[in-house]
């Protein structure tokens, strides 16, 4: 089924994003501390991170609109009931809100590479933007240890 396939893709992409975010953060950090030039590799690290985040966003939007856990619950139960239930609230509101904020930060962080500013400033800005985005992503993923119902598998 299309939905199941996209759910698996969405779930797997988390690892791609996490790995690429760690790489981009590491590169920004070493760039900051070594004073080297901002390279094509640094630019690509941010670009690939942004592409993976936007792909996950598109698939996520589909899951949210077409699936049982997003819009459907708000429509059928009403916003108030969704807010009262920790699991419904997590998927319909918290997950999407956190991830949208993180993806905006990643997009801004990627844009830093194109700005006409000193390389040291590029490293510093992208370091903080990607780091905060990664932290938000890590707290917004339905990890297996989450409260009953909102926890999901590793892949
Ligand atoms: C960095 C971005 C994101 C990451 C890493 C991420 C990760 C995940 C993971 C790991 C799951 C559990 C999958 C499973 O049960 O196997 C999930 C479920 C879900 N995500 Fe995301 N997500 C992201 C962004 C989004 C966005 C932006 C939306 C909405 C626009 C979204 C909507 C959903 C929905 C509705 C589910 C539940 C689908 C279902 O169980 O039927 N996600 N996400």
Is 148 a residue whose pLDDT tops 80?
no
Tell whether 23 is covered by a domain. no
Atom in ligand 1 nearest the alpha carbon of residue 137: 1
**CB contact at 8 A, 112 and 125:** yes
Token pair of 36 as six digits: 């080297």
- Domain count along the chain: 1
Residue with token string 């699991």: 87
Predicted TM-score of the model (pTM): 0.94
Predicted confidence at residue 120, as pLDDT, reads: 97
User: How many Å lie between the centroid of ligand 1 and the Cα of residue 23?
Assistant: 22
Residue with token string 């809100």: 97
- Residues whose CB falls within 8 Å of the CB of residue 73, separated by 6 or more in sequence, listed in order: 82, 88, 91, 92
Tell whether 12 is covered by a domain. no
Report the distance separating Cα 88 and Cα 14, nearest Å: 21
Predicted confidence at residue 64, as pLDDT, reads: 98
Query: How high is the mean pLDDT of the chain?
Result: 96
Tally the C-alpha atoms within 13 A of residue 146's C-alpha that lie toward its C-beta.
18
Task: Give pLDDT tens digits for 95-117.
Answer: 999 999 999 999 999 999 999 99
Domain hosting 132: range is 41-155
Tell whether 32 is covered by a domain. no
Instruction: Name the residue with the closest Cα to ligand 1, atom 28.
Output: 60
Atom in ligand 1 nearest the alpha carbon of residue 61: 30
């Amino acid at each position: 089924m299309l939905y199941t396939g996209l759910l698996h893709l969405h779930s797997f992409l988390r690892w791609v994003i996490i790995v690429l975010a760690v790489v981009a953060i590491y590169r920004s950090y070493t760039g900051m501390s070594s004073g080297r030039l901002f390279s094509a590799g640094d630019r690509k690290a941010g670009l690939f991170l942004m592409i993976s985040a936007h792909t996950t966003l598109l698939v996520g939007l589909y899951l949210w609109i077409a699936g049982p856990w997003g819009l459907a619950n708000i429509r059928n139960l009403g916003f108030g009931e969704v807010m009262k239930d920790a699991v419904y609230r997590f998927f319909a509101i918290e997950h999407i809100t956190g991830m949208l904020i993180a993806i905006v930060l990643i997009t801004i962080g990627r844009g830093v590479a194109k700005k006409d500013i000193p390389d040291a400033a590029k490293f510093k800005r992208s370091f903080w933007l990607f780091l905060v985005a990664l932290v938000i992503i890590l707290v917004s993923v339905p990890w297996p240890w989450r409260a009953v119902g909102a926890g999901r598998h590793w892949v």
